[in-house]
Chain A
């Protein structure tokens, strides 16, 4: 019984790490070695793939662009979701349940359906190929998610906190920013994580809405594979680097990551 306790998680993590290991291992091989045959470890260990990415502006700007619109999206989504989540968790108002469901429906909208209309919409308002276009487009699925998570955390805070603050003479903004937000800091962290994650991994819309100026790293990767054959080593290095920002973010919120869902309503 003791053995099986850690056996299952260990096997599962081993299974998760295998493809990641393969990716990282390929990033230290030359493309010729990858195509040349099967090898469990890099035979001619090389870092030239990484050197290329950090010296070629097309490559490293891909990362900067991606990080820029992801951060912008996270800020917009969480800022807009905070008051809304507060309203949903504290008040009953006309159409609140329908509104909540309507917000959730946008989480369900297939990106494939919206790609073309988004292209036309953002072109017509002159935002095509800008960070703001991608950041705004991603709010479609991130805002509902942020509202959902934050509402869960806020419902876990007893209402007496609000009432005590008013008795103590706080105005609403002073209560909201000085008392309430610090109380749900963990929830904000989790919301930031999920917004970051879903914006970082979404590519169909990001690619559709950009061409040169705001081109995300994913688009740089596909372009490279089509023009100069398959530069697998380079692609593997670029892919390995895309894991890092997410890993950093999750390290900060690791203790709160899933609590929000357990607390609130659905």
Chain B
């Protein structure tokens, strides 16, 4: 759509800008303040420059958490996106079953995050949980509270359970927006199922899929409540993701300086990745 230039449009966006600025800029400045100061707990602060940043960037603990975070994010993206597309492709396109499918699939999205964690915590217990009992009875030695591999398996399975539906909903929306004429043309040309997917459905889903990937990337990088309730970052530190580590430092040990520095580094990583992604998307749009 060709838009008219109108500087007065700023008045329309003003409420949003004020609201978000209040919530984003003031807290962000507080974090920046802490990140360059040192305190001994009596409300006196000393300038400490970039010391906390150096400390964080040189600590093995930070890099280990970041590594786990990246592993988690890329694993769930690699599972949820193809799975979500596959499910969207097989969903009915019309009829009463569409509503039933959509509502049932959206249910996991609507459960509070601590309930999701608590639910999986019990669901996967080897002695009284359905999943744990099932896995053990078919011969796996499964115990997610003690074995690192099992803890990761449960964490990833929980996230797949929780969020694949978001990808399904978005991919489905992209699919139903394809006009029937496209399929009829493909039928006349005798195109195979794969060719229809590759040259009609996938290009039409590109935009919604980029949104899905962007949302899943941001949210999985921010994930906190579910893994804390499920595994508490354990066994040991094996499932301690970035945000869990951050809260441990900030609220657990009350090390405000390092925690603030870590927050900023954390935020910058998300911002940078999303910015690269966003720019690439916008470039595609304009073509």
Contacts and interface: CB of A to CB of B under 8 A. Distances in A.
Interface of A: 4-9, 12-13, 15-20, 22-23, 26, 34-35, 37-38, 40, 76, 79-81, 83-84, 86-94, 96-97, 99, 101, 103-118, 120-121, 136-137, 139-140, 143-144, 147, 155, 159, 197, 200-204, 217-218, 221-222, 232, 235-236, 239, 242-243, 245-247, 249-251, 254-255, 257-259, 261-263, 265-266
State the majority secondary structure of interface residues on B: helix
Contacts of B111: 201, 239, 242-243, 246
B243 A257 contact: no
28 contacts: A6-B92, A9-B92, A13-B105, A23-B119, A23-B123, A34-B122, A35-B128, A81-B16, A87-B12, A91-B4, A92-B3, A106-B23, A112-B243, A112-B247, A113-B267, A117-B27, A117-B28, A203-B112, A203-B113, A236-B122, A239-B112, A246-B109, A254-B103, A257-B169, A261-B170, A265-B285, A266-B281, A266-B285
A91 B3 CA distance: 5
Contact of B10 (A20, A94, A236): A94
B52 interface: no
B221 interface: yes
Contact of B105 (A12, A109, A140): A12
Given A104-B274, A115-B251, A200-B112, 17 more contacts: A6-B92, A12-B105, A20-B107, A86-B12, A89-B1, A90-B6, A99-B17, A108-B274, A110-B242, A112-B224, A197-B110, A218-B112, A221-B118, A232-B122, A239-B112, A243-B107, A255-B99
Interface stretch (B37-45, B142-150, B205-213): B205-213
B258 to A, nearest CB: 13
Contacts of B24: 106, 109, 140
Pick the most buried of B4, B23, B118, B128: most chain A CB atoms within 10 A of its CB: B23
Interface in B15-63: 15-17, 19-20, 22-24, 26-28, 30-31
B13 interface: yes
Interface of B: 1, 3-10, 12-13, 15-17, 19-20, 22-24, 26-28, 30-31, 86-87, 90-92, 99, 101-115, 118-120, 122-123, 127-131, 133, 161, 164-165, 169-170, 172-174, 176-177, 207-208, 210-211, 214, 218, 221-222, 224-225, 242-243, 246-247, 250-251, 256, 259, 263, 266-267, 270-271, 274-275, 278, 281-282, 285
Contact of A115 (B13, B173, B247): B247
B26 A117 contact: yes
B123 A22 contact: yes
Contacts of B128: 34-35, 37-38
B99 A83 contact: no
A152 to B, nearest CB: 9
Contact of B90 (A5, A109, A136, A155): A5
Nearest to B264: A113
Q: Pick the 9 closest A-B CB pairs, nearest first.
A: A246-B110, A258-B173, A117-B27, A87-B12, A91-B9, A87-B9, A117-B30, A83-B12, A113-B263
A259 B109 CA distance: 17
Of B99, B173, B242, the most chain A CB neighbours within 10 A belong to B173
A13 B90 contact: no
B230 to A, nearest CB: 12
Contacts of A38: 127-128, 133
A80 B172 CA distance: 29
B256 to A, nearest CB: 8
A235 B9 contact: no
Contacts of B127: 37-38
Nearest to A16: B108
Nearest to A217: B112
Given A91-B6, A243-B107, A106 B222 contact: no
Given A12-B87, A116-B251, A262-B174, A92 B5 contact: yes
A212 B17 CA distance: 31
Given A92-B4, A113-B263, A262-B174, A203 B225 contact: yes
A262 B267 contact: no
Given A8-B86, A101-B278, A261 B108 contact: no
A16 B107 contact: yes
A260 B231 CA distance: 36
Contact of B6 (A5, A93, A202): A93
Nearest to A90: B3
Between B15, B115, B246, B259, the greatest number of chain A beta carbons within 10 A of the residue's beta carbon is seen for: B115
A35 to B, nearest CB: 7
Given A110-B221, A137-B23, A140-B20, A16 B113 contact: no
B210 A266 contact: yes
Nearest to B133: A38
Contact of B246 (A91, A112, A117, A266): A112
Nearest to A93: B9
Nearest to A138: B23
